[in-house]
Structure 1
């Protein structure tokens, strides 16, 4: 995504699916103080010395999301569909928005984003999906990450895989974009989230902030 295009996040509306628990991004210090004792009490005794490092990593990650225009972040727990029906799957959902510049055809915006991915040699499945209002740029890929170094919980492998989906929605006038991102550490069930993410992307609206600066309950 071309960095010189990005300015403060505009207000958007979006439908968040059931099953996600929101992680507030506006007061991370208070959040860490709240969840710290809960995590400490819920892990085995031999892991408790590692809790401060885990909280520090979580704080850094959430602060990075907030600084990159994330409006929503949540953890979801859902039952899988066929062929592995009934297994519980965990996913991470993030919604961001960006002011993207002058008015123009939204297809030109997505064409520019496609070029940016090509320039960075991003590899994955990319498609332009038509919605009732504007096209959606869909991109999915599987990425390997270094396993976290937790002394009391040796990693099962050095490079676990994470399945990721990114759906980018331009406003009708091309002046803003919204990005829906999903990640799961279970690549086998990752494709089951495709329809959900596209439904979320299709639900995005770019409402103007009301005159009293208060947003509606559906706005981020």
Structure 2
């Protein structure tokens, strides 16, 4: 079965592989291309909507030290975000506990989303403790939504009351990226999830670092 068909099936009925396998180079690159192509329409829409007034935290970081920003985005962000948002997808207590502890990090950037995410993880712990298996589709889509929403904190002037209608455009690509990462996590393991996240960020960040005028 080809990668695209498997991913489409995953979107309608997510499943965890019985045994993780290494992801092949062609499959890795195909998923990376899909992730980039899914990002482009949102980038175009945001440029048409003219959201420059919202500001972006990355602009200041690039101006301060663009190479430190690159290292943070390509290496540190995947190492931090994947255990927080994707480790628990295997629905093991230990993984959920790790996600719960690490989620304290995101609470510092956005306390509201961070608190909601922690409540969600506690709910999963309670369900599993009572021998109920949470619906995996709900878990995959919920974690992807939280992953997307936490990126709202990147916009320095975002105010929910004034800009709530922009949320699907601001973080839509991260939501789709979260679904792709969830597919990789449940079929190939957290290691490949982190590597893929880093590769995607590299595709986005390196051109900005090289060609953005500081």
The verdict on a shared fold, with TM-score over 0.5 as the criterion, is: no
Tell me the TM-score normalised to structure 1 length: 0.29
- The answer to which structure has the higher strand fraction is 1
- The answer to which structure has the higher helix fraction is 2
Tell me the TM-score normalised to structure 2 length: 0.30
The structure with more radius of gyration:
1
